[in-house]
Amino acid sequence: MNLGTLLARLESEADAGEAIGALGDIVLYQQVADTGALFDETPGEYVAGAAMRFAASAADEDWLGLIAAVEQAEDPGKAALGRILRWALARDGRDGADCAEGTACTCTHAG
């Protein structure tokens, strides 16, 4: 599966929810669940939004890091998803307060 296909599949909440579960990283899953809850999002919704935000606004350095991680990984899909989620969590942890409480994240703060 190529990176474009992965990002496209992650736009689906159902596929994104399955993907986060398949990572097998309970700590990352809990971070996603907790951060998604701040924006009234399920883990699947948060993962889908994270993938779309990464595709739309990640810097060149972020893309290079993602590509390097994918090339070196035993499981490129898991490596890509982990990198994308950590990127999104870092931005939401820094800027998440800009979103209105109780509303779904519109992702405008992640730039």
φ/ψ of 50, rounded to 5, equals -60, -45
**Residue 95: what pLDDT?**
52
Look at residue 105 in the predicted model and tell me its pLDDT.
46
23 located within any domain: yes
Model pTM score: 0.76
What does the alpha-carbon distance between residue 67 and residue 93 come to, in Å, rounded to a whole number? 24
Range of the domain at 11: 3-94
> Does 111 reside within a domain?
no
Q: For position 101, what pLDDT does the model report?
A: 47
- Asked whether residue 102 is domain-assigned, the answer is no
pLDDT at 6: 77
In a domain? residue 108: no
Return the H-helix or E-strand segment holding 31: helix 26-38
pLDDT of residue 81: 92
Residue 45's pLDDT is 92
Task: Say if residues 3 and 80 touch (Cβ distance below 8 Å).
Answer: yes
* 93, 109 contact by CB (below 8 A): no
Residue 70 within a domain: yes
Report residue 26: phi and psi, to 5°: -65, -35
Amino acid, res. 46: Y
- Return the pLDDT at 14: 82
- Whether residue 28 lies inside any domain: the answer is yes
DSSP 40: T
Domain tally for the chain? 1
In this structure, is residue 65 part of a structural domain?
yes
Q: pLDDT (tens digit, 0 to 9) for every residue of the chain, 111 residues total?
A: 577 777 778 877 788 888 888 888 999 999 999 999 999 999 999 999 999 999 999 999 999 999 999 999 999 989 999 999 999 999 998 654 445 444 444 444 433
In a domain, 72, yes or no: yes
